[in-house]
A and B are shown apart, each in its own frame.
Chain A
Amino acid sequence: MSQAVAAPAAPEGCDERQVLRQRGQREVFCGLTGIIWLHRKIQDAFFLVVGSRTCAHLIQSAAGVMIFAEPRFATAIIDDRDLAGLADANDELDAVVTQLLERRPDIKLLFLVGSCPSEVIKLDLSRAAQRLNTQFAPTVRVLSYSGSGIETTFTQGEDACLAALVPTLPSSDDSQLLVVGALADVVEDQFARLFAAMGLTKVRFLPPRQAGDMPPVGRGTKYLLAQPFLTDTARELEERGATRIAAPFPLGVEGTTLWLQAAATAFGITPAAFRAATEMAQERGKRALALHRDRLAGKRIFLFPDSQLEIPLARFLMRELGMTAVEAGTPYLHRQHMADELALLPESVTLSEGQDLERQLDRCRAEKPDLVVCGLGLANPLEAEGMTTKWSIELLFTPVQGYDQAGDLAELFARPLVRRTRLAV
């Protein structure tokens, strides 16, 4: 994880904000969970977790029924024999990979994904990837990253995956915009159309939909983060000469406009061209939000840490829907990447980084919020205590970014409240 946040160059005083730093039990997913949406995005990639039965069980539980559709992920389960000696473990891994690639000849990119057990026994997956790369090149490229719980929290798994990809991207110093972070295809297409409409044609997305279609990177690349959890990916991109376009994240109409605007400004798009390209979509997004504003305005919301999306979400819910966030928890706060978000977020919100679960639950109960955003392990128990909850993992699986999803995003928060008023039991 990045240590590069010691002296952030953040604007207007938001780094002076008090942040409650918490340590204790953390009720969060590990980075392996990222596989569940990443494998849908890169359609010819396979994710092989090197871990324990627990890792296999976690992905199976989190993926639900998706796992039965011949998924492009699996686990090489470490057993007693592997723990006995490391040389043996490497041979075993090679055998598993060979078996896998024979079974799935359509795979072009294989990620070896590290887990807590593989990290603790110091199984060197980057060397294994190099070794397997020479064996299977050029048909299959093999990369490695860690999705272990000891190093990554939930969405940081995507960060680790993309960061592993960046050094392998082709080089080009041509001027281009690179949008970074896995977005639903429908959202990606909408953004591509909006950029094209404002005359910005050299736009690429990372990750791409096919392993053979990797975007180039170099000194002419300006990158725009579509997701707030891409610390290491950003650092790797900067090492390749790319520069970040600072912006809030494209959640809600305001967030999307500021995000697109930042890219437009960086590429010298005229205000008129920008307006012409986005005006209609902005209006449409605002109309969709108005429907939900009546239900949500004035309601108090408490967000447990999960994905690092919590701060942008709190900003959206407060500014565009009139809600009040009492606490926004995040597993990790990157001050520089979050600077534009923090500038828009009222000072009244308690920000917390990390977690001490029981104490956070105490705070939540004391606040008696109207809506609690939390994981599935907490949602039903809190409902049983009388609270209304919105389970957070859905925010990663549902298309929520951009103008035309702003209404859907608001609806995700409105629905549990509407349900509560409807039920007479």
Chain B
Amino acid sequence: MKLTLWTYEGPPHIGAMRVATAMEGLHYVLHAPQGDTYADLLFTMIERRSKRPPVTYTTFQARDLGSDTAELFKTAVTEAYERFKPQALLVGASCTAELIQDDPGGLARSMGLPVPVVPVELPSYQKKENWGSAETFYQLVRSFTKKPEKRERAPGERPRCNILGPTALGFRHRDDVAEVTRLLDRLGVDVHVVAPLGATPADLVTLGEADFNVVLYPETGMVAAQWLMRNFGQPLVKTVPIGYGATREFITEVAKLTNIDPTPVLEEDESRLPWYSRSVDSTYLTGKRVFIFGDATHAVAAARMAAEEFGFTVVGLGTYSREFGREVREAAAKYGVEATITDDYLEVEAKITELQPELVLGTQMERHIAKRLGIPCAVISAPVHVQDFPARYSPQMGFEGANVIFDTWVHPLMMGLEEHLLHMFRDDMEFHDDAGASHLGSVKVAPPPAPREAPMETAVDTVAAPAADAAGETAVAERPVVWDAAAEQELRKIPFFVRGKARRNTERFATERGLTTITVDTLYDAKAHFGR
């Protein structure tokens, strides 16, 4: 048993729902107790889908337990088939139904339905959502995809590929598919089938007819792609085109595989990221300390962008995708940091508190952790809330994706010029950080003297302290040191957005040296010690 406040991934049957909902012509009959239908609202509310997910639940209750539930399941299958007339049925059990052992696969197969029935076994007490998606997609591909007839490409005919991995409830999957499809088209490659997103079971039958596969999201698409490679000899493109450099590598990889000359597409170079990043306003980004957490694919891609395309220093890198722990560890080693592989947000919180980064790139959870700690943050990975299924075009992949990411990450940081000006004028009455933000002349400026950051600091500390304890890191939590008045005054001259870090560093510095009072000199000694 594990104490869980919140969870990065749902159970594996949610992963199966993400595949079923992504597809057309497929219906999922889920043996599940009353209440599990809550999952519908993830699709109808968070992703704002206009149709109910193609899922029928048996919704058994206590009075049905006993011999009845198998019958209930069969009724649900019959009615779902008659009502929705799908090309194929997916059947499985949720966590509770797994315990009552009705064998949905066996039951459904025995019914002699006129369409294929694909059972999915999803061990709910071991595995999670992404695994569920990958396994479901793999089972569908294994069941449906036919070995193609050998066929030579006609002269002048463009090579074709499948795009594998995008699902319902995927972070920016909709626009990534559009962007990558456009990129491939410019290169001279056609997309044969995108799956699961938008595909039917009939489409899956023909997957083998493509020349190669592009795996956009290894978490959900890799298992199926590897099966296609083993069985039909379809090569797979492994580079995930998130970031300017990765996109160029992706183009080169595809070009090599298809004997196409990538030069025109590479030279056209439609991303603004390189110039924006080189422009002088971005100089202040140099060495900004960034902590990165998310699913493995997005975290690894973000780390590369942070280091190579933004000039940040990666101080932490981690993932909740245990299946891809090795990849993330390897990436972390490149930046000289130890990977945080965990699905416990308290561990992530402790790590962020300890590192005090200047920017956090993460999921919805890290957004809230960063908010508490007063650190800027941008979202790079699922799980996400409704605002990260935007109406506007916002891919993460390809050259436009790089543009989107540049804006998204820089936005929470203060722009360079703004940061410089604030620093210069920090003691002016209008720009004093106690002055409050207002363009209205009539708004009275709050009287400055009271140390205004105190309550905020306290709030942060109450959160930070137990987390730090949990990590066995008590030096910061116990705080025997006091600030003398002059040092406190000096501390207040430091811009508010780095003051928390300065306070913490100085106190740690003092504690480690057994000092009980912090003077102005201690402050500057610490600054010299920690200065980068």
Instruction: Please report A residues at the B interface, Cβ cutoff 8 Å.
Output: 24-33, 50, 52-54, 56-58, 60-62, 64-65, 67-68, 70-71, 74-80, 82-83, 89, 92-93, 95-96, 99-100, 103, 116-117, 119-121, 148-151, 153, 358, 375-381, 383-384
Q: Is the CB of B56 within 8 A of A25?
A: yes
Residues of A close to B466: CB separation below 8 A: 103
A27-B40, A117-B99, A119-B62 known; A79-B51 Cβ under 8 A: no
Residues of B close to A82: CB separation below 8 A: 1
Q: What's the least CB distance linking B491 to chain A, in Å? A: 28
CB within 8 A of B11: which of A26, A52, A100? Answer: A52
CA distance A150 to B31 in the complex (A): 13
Residues of B close to A151: CB separation below 8 A: 61-62
Q: What's the least CB distance linking B526 to chain A, in Å? A: 30
Q: Is the CB of A96 within 8 A of B96?
A: no
Q: Is the CB of B2 within 8 A of A76?
A: yes
Q: Is the CB of A57 within 8 A of B125?
A: no
Residues of B close to A384: CB separation below 8 A: 50-51
Q: Is the CB of B60 within 8 A of A150?
A: yes
Q: Is the CB of B59 within 8 A of A25?
A: yes
A67-B6, A150-B61, A377-B40 known; A79-B126 Cβ under 8 A: yes
A56-B6, A117-B96, A150-B34 known; A95-B1 Cβ under 8 A: yes
CA distance A27 to B6 in the complex (A): 24
> B79: CB under 8 A from chain A?
yes
A–B complex contacts, Cβ < 8 Å, 30 sampled: A25-B59, A28-B34, A29-B38, A30-B36, A33-B38, A52-B11, A52-B124, A52-B125, A54-B94, A56-B4, A56-B6, A58-B36, A61-B42, A62-B38, A68-B365, A70-B463, A76-B1, A76-B2, A79-B125, A93-B1, A103-B466, A116-B95, A117-B95, A120-B99, A120-B100, A151-B62, A376-B44, A377-B40, A380-B44, A381-B49
CA distance A65 to B76 in the complex (A): 34
CA distance A61 to B385 in the complex (A): 10
Q: Is the CB of A381 within 8 A of B52?
A: yes
CB within 8 A of A92: which of B1, B9, B48, B99? Answer: B1
Q: What's the least CB distance linking B59 to chain A, in Å? A: 5
- For chains A and B in complex, what number of residue pairs have CB atoms within 8 angstroms? 176
CB within 8 A of A27: which of B37, B45, B50? Answer: B37
CA distance A377 to B41 in the complex (A): 4
Residues of B close to A28: CB separation below 8 A: 34-35, 37
A-side binding surface: helix, strand, loop or mixed?
Answer: helix
CB within 8 A of B45: which of A78, A93, A380? Answer: A380
Q: Is the CB of A67 within 8 A of B38?
A: no
Q: What's the least CB distance linking B293 to chain A, in Å? A: 15
> B128: CB under 8 A from chain A?
yes
Q: Which residue of B lies closest to A60 (CB)?
A: B6
> B7: CB under 8 A from chain A?
yes
Residues of A close to B463: CB separation below 8 A: 70
Q: Is the CB of A65 within 8 A of B385?
A: yes
Interface string of B54-94 (1 = CB under 8 A from A): 00111111101100000000001001000100000000001
Residues of B close to A149: CB separation below 8 A: 33-36, 59, 61, 96
Q: What's the least CB distance linking A328 to chain B, in Å? A: 20
5 nearest A-B residue pairs (beta carbon): A30-B35, A149-B35, A377-B40, A384-B50, A92-B1
CB within 8 A of A378: which of B5, B52, B60, B95? Answer: B52
CA distance A114 to B10 in the complex (A): 19
Q: Is the CB of B79 within 8 A of A358?
A: yes
Q: Is the CB of A78 within 8 A of B125?
A: yes
Residues of A close to B50: CB separation below 8 A: 380-381, 383-384
Residues of B close to A57: CB separation below 8 A: 7, 10-11, 14, 39
CA distance A321 to B57 in the complex (A): 36
Q: Which residue of A lies closest to B75 (CB)?
A: A24
| Other A-B pairs, 18, CB within 8 Å; known A62-B38, A100-B3, A117-B99 | A52-B96, A53-B4, A53-B124, A54-B11, A54-B124, A58-B35, A65-B368, A68-B368, A70-B463, A74-B5, A77-B7, A78-B125, A116-B96, A149-B96, A150-B33, A380-B44, A380-B48, A383-B50
Residues of B close to A26: CB separation below 8 A: 34, 37, 59
Interface string of B93-135 (1 = CB under 8 A from A): 0111001100000000000000000000000111010000000
Q: Is the CB of B11 within 8 A of A29?
A: no
Q: Which residue of B lies closest to A79 (CB)?
A: B125
Residues of B close to A148: CB separation below 8 A: 33, 35, 62
Residues of A close to B385: CB separation below 8 A: 64-65
CA distance A57 to B11 in the complex (A): 8
CB within 8 A of B37: which of A24, A89, A96, A377? Answer: A377
CA distance A121 to B96 in the complex (A): 9
Residues of A close to B49: CB separation below 8 A: 380-381
Q: Is the CB of B36 within 8 A of A54?
A: yes
A52-B95, A100-B3 known; A25-B76 Cβ under 8 A: yes
Q: Is the CB of B4 within 8 A of A377?
A: no
Residues of B close to A376: CB separation below 8 A: 40-41, 44-45
A26-B59, A60-B7, A148-B33 known; A54-B95 Cβ under 8 A: yes
Q: Which residue of A lies closest to B3 (CB)?
A: A96
Q: Is the CB of B5 within 8 A of A71?
A: yes
Q: Which residue of B lies closest to A58 (CB)?
A: B38
Q: What's the least CB distance linking A326 to chain B, in Å? A: 22
Q: Is the CB of A29 within 8 A of B35?
A: yes
Q: What's the least CB distance linking A372 to chain B, in Å? A: 14
Which of B33, B34, B51 has the largest number of chain A CB atoms within 10 A?
Answer: B34
Q: What's the least CB distance linking B372 to chain A, in Å? A: 8
Q: What's the least CB distance linking A362 to chain B, in Å? A: 10
Q: Is the CB of B3 within 8 A of A99?
A: yes
Residues of A close to B59: CB separation below 8 A: 24-26, 149
Residues of A close to B128: CB separation below 8 A: 53
Q: What's the least CB distance linking B100 to chain A, in Å? A: 6
Which of A67, A116, A121 has the largest number of chain B CB atoms within 10 A?
Answer: A116
CA distance A121 to B58 in the complex (A): 20
Q: What's the least CB distance linking B4 to chain A, in Å? A: 5
A80-B125, A92-B1 known; A56-B7 Cβ under 8 A: yes
CA distance A80 to B95 in the complex (A): 11
CA distance A100 to B470 in the complex (A): 12
Q: Which residue of B lies closest to A376 (CB)?
A: B41
CA distance A24 to B100 in the complex (A): 19
Q: Which residue of A lies closest to B62 (CB)?
A: A150
Q: Is the CB of B4 within 8 A of A76?
A: yes
CA distance A31 to B44 in the complex (A): 21
CA distance A414 to B66 in the complex (A): 45
Residues of B close to A95: CB separation below 8 A: 1
Residues of A close to B60: CB separation below 8 A: 150
Residues of A close to B9: CB separation below 8 A: 53
CA distance A80 to B49 in the complex (A): 34
Q: Is the CB of B99 within 8 A of A375?
A: no
Give the contacts of B354-368 with A (CB-CB under 8 A).
Answer: 365, 368
Q: Which residue of B lies closest to A53 (CB)?
A: B11
CB within 8 A of B4: which of A64, A77, A80? Answer: A77
A117-B96, A120-B96 known; A25-B4 Cβ under 8 A: no
A52-B124, A57-B11, A89-B1 known; A116-B44 Cβ under 8 A: no
Q: Which residue of B lies closest to A362 (CB)?
A: B83
Q: Is the CB of A77 within 8 A of B96?
A: no
Interface string of B11-34 (1 = CB under 8 A from A): 101100000000000000000011
Q: What's the least CB distance linking B199 to chain A, in Å? A: 21
Residues of A close to B100: CB separation below 8 A: 120
CA distance A121 to B100 in the complex (A): 9
Residues of B close to A70: CB separation below 8 A: 463
Q: What's the least CB distance linking B488 to chain A, in Å? A: 29
Residues of A close to B52: CB separation below 8 A: 377-378, 381
Q: Is the CB of B7 within 8 A of A379?
A: no
Q: Is the CB of B83 within 8 A of A358?
A: yes
Q: Which residue of A lies closest to B365 (CB)?
A: A68
Q: What's the least CB distance linking A99 to chain B, in Å? A: 6
CA distance A105 to B79 in the complex (A): 52
